[in-house]
Structure 1
Amino acid sequence: MMPVFRAIPPDMSADAVQQVDAMLSEIQSTEGVHIPWAIESGSRAWGFPSPDSDYVARFIYVRPAAQAVTIWPRRDVIERPIVGDMDVNGWDLSKALRLILKGNAVVVEWLQSPIVYSGEIWLRDALLDFAETWTDRVRLEAHYRHLGLRQQSIYLDGEAEPALKKVFYALRPAAAVRWLRLHPDRLLPPMHFPTLLAEADPPAEVAQLTRDLIARKAVSCELGTGQTPEPLREFIRTTLGDDIGSERTQSPSDEAKAAADELFVLATLRLDAA
């Protein structure tokens, strides 16, 4: 058996963790797949949870080689209905690899989550190395800009009295865009939002307002509604720009696709042998 890594903060609900573990076990048994990486995403992993935050468990799964050899396409997502505060679903490793090559930051964030239900470190490290080598920086920044502008449009500009907690939905991708511009020698922005924001070097007033909101959110189920403080709105607007534009990107190279295939085959065979 391969060693399994686990990192659960002591303040997380033991009952909730037990529920997630049970759901992951059920998925492996019912779907006949192996889950080598299962983590918490969402506000708990981003570092700005509320007392009533949902448990957003995400995972990468690998099918046995016998399942992969078929002429019939299989779904590359496994989902379970959201029940109460439990939100559990995951992606096939093949989907994860394709999205990394498209500059989608979601998988890379999963690989950096500080809350790990179960994980095989060799696969995490291999995927992070793959992302560091083959992620298109332009595509990655475009991903965060698209996300931030969409959230800004919905939550900051589209609602007269938005919930204050929703500012984080636009603030986090804006901070990632700024981080990428300030760190040309690094490629993967930190998932943990307080770390990300600190490394993005925002104006002092933005940093203080954000710390205050995080502290309030940590002890209150609701921050209430109201206009987002203007320094935060201005930081988001100026960082993201006015429109998405047409960022010029290239399709993944044949070399990148070959590297993705190689890692996919390695993971399938290695997990089959375990």
Structure 2
Amino acid sequence: MQTVTDKAVPETVRREIEARLDSIEQTHDVRILLAVESGSRAWGFPSPDSDYDVRFLYVRSRRWYLSLKSGRDVIESPIEDEIDLNGWDIRKALGLLLKSNAVVGEWIESPIRYRPDHPVVAKLSALADRAMDMRAMAHHYASLGRNAADRWLKDGGDVPVKKYFHALRPALAIRCLRLHPGVRPPMNLQALVERCALPEAVQDEIAALVEAKRQSNERSNATRIAALDVLIRDELSRAGEVVAREVNSDADTQAEQLFLELVDI
């Protein structure tokens, strides 16, 4: 994917993010391979006060990886002007991908890019398709959803709209994994809805909730919607139904080769 101009990111903010990414490369002596939005703006349900959750993958020089003492494998910047930048070293990202961690795959699928992708990103995406166990991914989403739902799903009170979405998106990801075996689910809510074969009335409820969040702040409460509560509760309990897939036995070797190609440059 190439850099995308998106209404969710004003041009002035985009330019500031791009400048900060340039600064990170110079300050930390790294090459950024992927830089995307990975928060409510990319998920498709932003609020006016949503942060810009910028996530990136980077690679260091070969010499850094040969040091006897392992260095820190993340780069984090303080949140300034609602911009939150956080990056992972490619070796960390590859290790997590091989453990079926869904985060790297989501970053790859983000609809909002802050830079053109390095060519290695396409190889990362193909590796994710081969290496990730979909049932393990479903259990990851079930854990996310249950943590977000916490106690509110059991009672009848209002709930912060942000928490509603943080339970709904994982629930839809599980549904997508059940209906489309072997295919990684999209990270964006609207793309998930399209794949999930939901009743039209439920789709309308989700669209109305997205619009309500678009006009409120992150902590505003949402009126409970019975159909969505049922959907969330049901799908979070069905992660075990996702078809387990035999992971490509050469995935470790392919990841190692990809890493060596990068650090040999």
TM-score computed with the length of structure 1 as normaliser: 0.87
Asked if the contact 1:148/1:171 (under 8 Å) is kept, the reply is yes
1:171-210 mapped onto 2 (5 Å cutoff): 171-184=168-181, 186-210=182-206
**CA distance in 1 between partners of 2:36 and 2:155 (Å):** 32
Asked if the contact 1:77/1:90 (under 8 Å) is kept, the reply is yes
**CA distance in 1 between partners of 2:55 and 2:22 (Å):** 13
Asked if the contact 2:75/2:86 (under 8 Å) is kept, the reply is yes
> 2:213 matched to which residue of 1?
217
Give the length in aligned residue pairs: 264
Cα 1:148/1:9, change in 2 over 3 Å: same
Task: Give the deviation of 1:45 after TM superposition.
Answer: 0.8
**CA distance in 2 between partners of 1:76 and 1:253 (Å):** 26
Name the SS for the 2:138 alignment partner: helix
Of 1, 12, 17, which aligns to 2:14? 17
**CA distance in 2 between partners of 1:137 and 1:12 (Å):** 31
> 1:164 matched to which residue of 2?
161
Q: What do residues 115-165 of structure 1 show as CA deviations (whole Å, max 9, x unaligned)?
A: 111133522210010001111112111111111111111654589542123
Name the SS for the 2:84 alignment partner: strand
Letter in 1 for 2:39: G
Residues 1:92 and 2:92 aligned together:
no
Of 252, 259, 268, which aligns to 2:263? 268
**CA distance in 2 between partners of 1:174 and 1:11 (Å):** 24
Task: Give the deviation of 1:220 after TM superposition.
Answer: 3.1
**CA distance in 2 between partners of 1:146 and 1:11 (Å):** 28
Name the SS for the 1:7 alignment partner: coil
**CA distance in 2 between partners of 1:266 and 1:158 (Å):** 53
Cα 1:118/1:222, change in 2 over 3 Å: closer
Compare 249-258 and 226-235 and name the one that shifted more. Answer: 249-258
Task: Give the deviation of 1:86 after TM superposition.
Answer: 1.0
Asked if the contact 2:100/2:131 (under 8 Å) is kept, the reply is no
Name the SS for the 2:254 alignment partner: helix
**CA distance in 2 between partners of 1:215 and 1:102 (Å):** 36
Letter in 1 for 2:128: A
Name the SS for the 1:119 alignment partner: coil
> 1:35 matched to which residue of 2?
32
Compare 157-166 and 138-147 and name the one that shifted more. Answer: 157-166
Q: What do residues 175-214 of structure 1 show as CA deviations (whole Å, max 9, x unaligned)?
A: 0000000012x42101221111221112333211101111
Q: What do residues 224-274 of structure 1 show as CA deviations (whole Å, max 9, x unaligned)?
A: 3255211111100011119x88x9x899786322211111111222xx3xx
Asked if the contact 1:5/1:121 (under 8 Å) is kept, the reply is no
Asked if the contact 1:155/1:167 (under 8 Å) is kept, the reply is no
Residues 1:109 and 2:106 aligned together:
yes
Residues 1:259 and 2:254 aligned together:
yes
| Coordinate RMSD, CA, aligned | 2.6
Task: Give the deviation of 1:60 after TM superposition.
Answer: 0.3
